[in-house]
Amino acid sequence: MKMSSTQGPHSLAFRVMRLCRPSLHVEIPVRFDPSDLLFGEDLFDDPVAASHLPRLLADTVSATAADGSTTSADPSDLSYRNRFLLQHPSDSLGLPGLLLLPQSFGAIYLGETFCSYISINNSSNFEVRDVTIKAEIQTERQRILLLDTSKSPVESIRAGGRYDFIVEHDVKELGAHTLVCTALYNDNDGERKYLPQYFKFMVANPLSVRTKVRVVKETTILEASIENHTKSNLYMDQVDFEPAQNWNATILRGVDHHPESKQPMRLTDRYSLLYHGNCNIFFGLKF
């Protein structure tokens, strides 16, 4: 059995999509209240039109009552009949409740779990057999194997068909990463072919910590400034500080704050970090 190089056309091709939280779909049309259609914003500038306002309001109410409709949308009504109505103040945001899958790879930050949906497609007009698939992450320091079907190859992928799988990796390194997907398969003429594909992405640091030290009497005060470098808001559930041996540390809080936690070196309050915002936490150190 002969082995071909990566040159020449291939029957198979990899497609990679990152699995992450979908975003909210925003409608382009702006919702409005039905009364805006009847009256308009210049109604009170025209004394003649303003005199007809009570009658127009009464006609609107009576027409609604005769029709048997209410001011609130019926959840069972799946039509778009009342789509333009402003049933709730949140409707003015233009959020219909639909979710949008990610259209790009997006930013990946240290500490995240990288999850990817990988599909290997057969775009040829014939079946390929004995498909061995491997997927691995390559960094400057190591190579992590995510999937290996060598012991149980995919028996066949029909013409126009595909084989899908999901891989996960806990990101623990900064810098350049490469997702390497390879396939070894038998073509229609019995030729053994090897297909490698590379998908590169960068891993950034979501946070930065800057410290300042001050000495007040017998207490050393450490100020930790945590800054958000992501493009979204973050929430910190917990902040720990581990002092050196023979040192004791406590979190310095406001005089009106009465913490329920009895752990002196752990901040358990939920802190929010806005986009490019920062949070300052103070620790008191004593030897």
pLDDT tens profile 35-84: 555 556 565 566 666 666 566 556 555 555 555 554 455 554 444 455 55
Of 204, 232, 257, the position where a domain reaches its end is: 204
How far apart, in Å, are the Cα atoms of 18 and each of 15, 195, 234, 286? 10, 21, 21, 47
Indicate whether 221 belongs to any domain: yes
Answer with the one of 140, 169, 204 that is the final residue of a domain.
Answer: 204
User: Model confidence at 193, in pLDDT bands (50, 70, 90)?
Assistant: very high
Mean pLDDT for the stretch of residues 133-148: 96
**Closest listed residue to residue 132, CA positions, set 158, 110, 154:** 154
pTM of structure: 0.66
Q: Specify whether 152 is located in the same domain as 213.
A: no
**Average per-residue pLDDT in the chain?**
79
Distance separating alpha carbons of residues 201 and 114, to the nearest angstrom? 11
- Compute the CA torsion angle 76, 82, 86, 91 (nearest 10 deg): 60
| Residue found under tokens 């498909």 | 131
**Does residue 16 share a domain with residue 123?**
yes
- Residue 205 in contact with residue 112, Cβ under 8 Å? no
Considering the chain, what percentage of its residues have pLDDT values greater than 70?
66
Strand pairing report for 192-204 and 108-109: parallel
Whether residue 269 is found in the same domain as residue 219 = yes
Do 280 and 231 lie in a common domain? yes
The band of 25, judged by pLDDT with boundaries at 50, 70 and 90, is confident
Q: Which residue has the higher pLDDT, 126 or 68?
A: 126
How far apart are alpha carbons 139 and 283 in whole angstroms? 36
Asked if 154 and 16 sit in the same domain, the reply is: yes
Residues 175 and 107 in one domain: yes
Among 118-132, 157-171, 240-254, 266-280, the least confident range: 266-280
CA–CA gap between residue 9 and residue 195 (Å, rounded): 10
Residue 198 pLDDT: 95
In a domain, 32, yes or no: no
Cβ atoms of residues 113 and 137 within 8 Å: no
Residue 14 clears pLDDT 90, i.e. is over it: yes
Do 119 and 250 fall into the same domain? no
Q: How many domains does the chain have?
A: 2
Same domain, 192 and 214: no
Residue 164 placed within a domain? yes
- Establish if 108 belongs to a structural domain: yes
Residue 108 and residue 193 share a domain: yes
Its domain, for residue 130, covers 12-20+103-204
Last residue of a domain, one of 148, 170, 204: 204
Q: How many CA atoms lie within 13 A of 161 on its CB side?
A: 12
Name the residue type at position 168.
E
Q: Are residues 200 and 213 in the same domain?
A: no
Residue 154 lies in a domain: yes
Residue 245 neighbours by CB under 8 Å, 6+ apart: none
- 168 or 277: which leads in pLDDT: 168
Query: How far is residue 112's CA from residue 109's CA, in Å, rounded to a whole number?
Result: 6
